[in-house]
Structure 1
Amino acid sequence: MPGWQALQEELADHNFQVIAVAIDEDVEAVRAGCDGITYPVLIDAEHIVAELYAISNVPTVLMIDEDDNIVQPNWSAYASDTFRELTGIDSEKQKDHIRAWAKDGTLRMSPDEAKGVVGDLSAEEEEARLVFRIAAKLRRDGDTDGAERNFERANALAPNDWTVRRASQPLRGINPFGDAFMEIYTEFNEAGRPYHGVTGH
């Protein structure tokens, strides 16, 4: 988040606005990470944004122009090099794409190319997201066993969808940065890094 804050400040005179969406339901946990952040941070506890835009991994960035057109669809972009060792992604190169768009209107692809980049969610992925919502609701209602059964079912339906599998970890009391994360990351790599969006750096 501090990396996006720095970019927000850098491009403030170029009609640029960062808006973050946390796929979370713990307002206080999100708030704790917002120290010094001046851009809006929204909470998508029901994963509506993730479903509407077919987001299957985080972080995912979309670039939307003043006319509400998606000019850069789902893109696994980073504002810092915190995860560079894992991802091999240079955040400065990615931020340069954003700078070029904000300053000069230069895009990585044409509007026609952008339209076909993000594939639809599969039937299993759609079902997994619905089951995830059921699990989250059961958890909020105090039905731990019912929640766990549905989290497991959602994870089985979409094992490489991080908005389902990794997002369920803190809700289930699992450290999302511990061994369980590395298990997901390893399986994700072994599956060919499936992603709904632009790949490459």
Structure 2
Amino acid sequence: MGEEMITLLADGREERIAGPIVPHGEPVLGWERKPHGWCRGDACVPAFRAAAAETGEGVDLVAFAGLLGRQAVADPDEGLIAVGEPADLPPGRAPEFEALTALRGTRVAVVFWASWCGCRYDLPAWEALHRELGGHGFSVLSVSLDRDPEAAREWLAEVTHPAVIDTDGRIAELYNVINVPTVVWVDAEGRIARPQDTMTATDTFRSMNGLSCERAAAALRRWVIDGDAGTTSRELRAPTGEERRARLHARLATWLFRAGRTAAAERHLARAAALAPHDLAIRRGLMPLNGVDPFGERYFALREELEAAGIAIYRPLPDWQGDEEPAAGATAPS
């Protein structure tokens, strides 16, 4: 079994490894075997704990991921394993990714959007806020949830703020983003100043979502200029175990769709939908890879399904929007 080659999707990379039982002497997820246990830098998993993942042939990759607090989903028939992010991130810290780390020392609004969401029309307004407030030590960092990078790039042609395309869903996983638009504020020291909120930069869909872009912009300016984030909440809302597993099934589905293995991809997409039916970043976001129009009948059927089940698509209204109410029956932008 140790000689079986599989494709591992982890830490934003894709690699071929000997597994799912990794032969003795090989590193596992960047960890190496030492006499006293498995180590990565200064961190170590003691030998007595690691023994639960070790076999006579090698190390069980899925079991070892579990020891690290990381979920894993394997598809032996397709030769795939996806490993998720650690669940025990430091409280109050913004999860690191390269573009955000490069902005340390700056207040950042991390703006999650997608070409399949009406919030794509907000990008010029976010760009205007980026330019207006840049002199106060502020930056917008937009993160597209598009799985196809070309779909996002045409909307980014005129922006000057830092922008990332989250093609494998890893950043959405780190920040527990279930739909767009979602915005997270990160302070200059890399701490969460305001966790995930539904926040708009234009009133294009106000009749549907009940949100005021003027109030949102005023709250943002108070934070950037006066340091008042307007909330006592300083931690991201954590995902459930089901949400974490759903994102791994979505990662496998994405890889399989790109490889032309549609039937297998659809199985994983269905499993993701069963685990996290409310996660539009998965269910709507993967429609284009499956040849489905994310603005078409399937999307509106999905909206009706969620509404009938009483599942809210948006996060609760931010406190600066307290006296605004969404239009009746409206749950998502077109």
- TM-score, normalised on structure 1? 0.89
Relative to the length of structure 2, the TM-score reads 0.55
Residue pair 1:74, 1:198 contacting (<8 A) in 2 also? no
- Distance verdict in 2 for CA 1:134–1:192, change over 3 Å: closer
- 1:197 to 1:53, Cα distance in 2 relative to 1, 3 A: farther
Identity, in percent, stands at 37
Corresponding residue to 2:183 among 47, 51, 61? 61
Letter in 1 for 2:250: F
Q: Which runs of 5+ in 1 are unaligned?
A: none
Q: Which residues in structure 2 correspond to 1:128-143 (within 5 Å)?
A: 128-143=246-261
CA distance in 1, matches of 2:218, 2:298: 33
Paired residues of 2:254 and 2:265 also in contact (CA < 8 A): yes
Match of 1:184 in 2: 302
User: How far does residue 38 in structure 1 lie from its aligned partner after superposition?
Assistant: 0.8
Task: Tell me: CA distance 1:80–1:188, structure 2 relative to 1, closer, same or farther (3 Å).
Answer: farther
SS at match of 1:13: helix
**Distance in structure 2 (CA, Å) of the matches to 1:160 and 1:41:** 26
Determine the C-alpha separation between the residues in 2 that align with 1:87 and 1:172: 28
CA RMSD of aligned residues (A): 1.9
Looking at structure 2, the residues matched to 41 and 169 of structure 1 have their Cα atoms a distance apart, in angstroms, of: 23
Q: Distance in 2 between matches of 1:114 and 1:197?
A: 16
Q: What CA distance in whole angstroms lies between the structure 2 residues aligned with 1:79 and 1:33? A: 15
Name 2:152's counterpart in structure 1.
30
**Residues 105-139 of structure 1 deviation map (CA, whole Å, 9 limit, x = unaligned):** 111112xx333xx4322222111111111111111
SS at match of 1:71: strand
Give 1:101's aligned residue.
Answer: 223
Alignment partner of 1:164 is 2:282: yes
In structure 2, C-alpha distance between the alignment counterparts of 1:48 and 1:197, rounded to whole Å: 23
Distance in 1 separating the partners of 2:315 and 2:190? 20
| Aligned counterpart for 2:234 among listed residues 86, 100, 114 | 114
Q: Number of paired residues?
A: 197
**Matched residue SS, 1:134:** helix
Choose the corresponding residue for 1:84, options 179, 198, 206. 206
**Which structure has the higher relative contact order (CA within 8 Å, separation 6+)?**
1
Matched residue, 2:268: 150
Rate the CA distance shift 1:199–1:166 in 2: closer, same or farther, 3 A. Answer: farther
Q: 2:195 aligns with which of 47, 53, 73?
A: 73
| Cα distance in 2 between the residues matched to 1:145 and 1:79 | 39
What is the alpha-carbon distance in structure 2 between the residues aligned to residue 119 and residue 12 of structure 1? Answer: 28
Indicate conservation of the 8 Å contact 1:23/1:43, yes or no. yes
Letter in 1 for 2:281: T
Seen in structure 2, the aligned counterparts of structure 1 residues 188 and 71 have a Cα distance that, compared at 3 Å, is: farther
The structure where helix makes up a greater share of residues is 1
CA deviation after TM superposition for structure 1 residue 35, in Å = 2.6
Cross-structure match for 2:40: none
Q: Is the 8 A contact 1:119 1:197 kept in 2?
A: no
Judging by fraction of residues, say which structure has more strand. Answer: 2
What CA distance in whole angstroms lies between the structure 2 residues aligned with 1:177 and 1:120?
29
- Deviation at residue 23 of structure 1 after TM alignment: 1.2
Q: Distance in 2 between matches of 1:87 and 1:181?
A: 17
Deviation at 1:189, TM superposition (A): 4.2
Q: How many angstroms apart in 2 are the aligned matches of 1:194 and 1:188?
A: 8
Whether the aligned pair in 2 keeps the contact of 1:174 and 1:180 (CA below 8 Å) is: yes
Larger Rg: 1 or 2? 2
For residue 243 of structure 2, the aligned residue among 120, 125, 134 is 125
Q: Give the conservation status (yes or no) of the 8 Å contact 1:74–1:197.
A: no
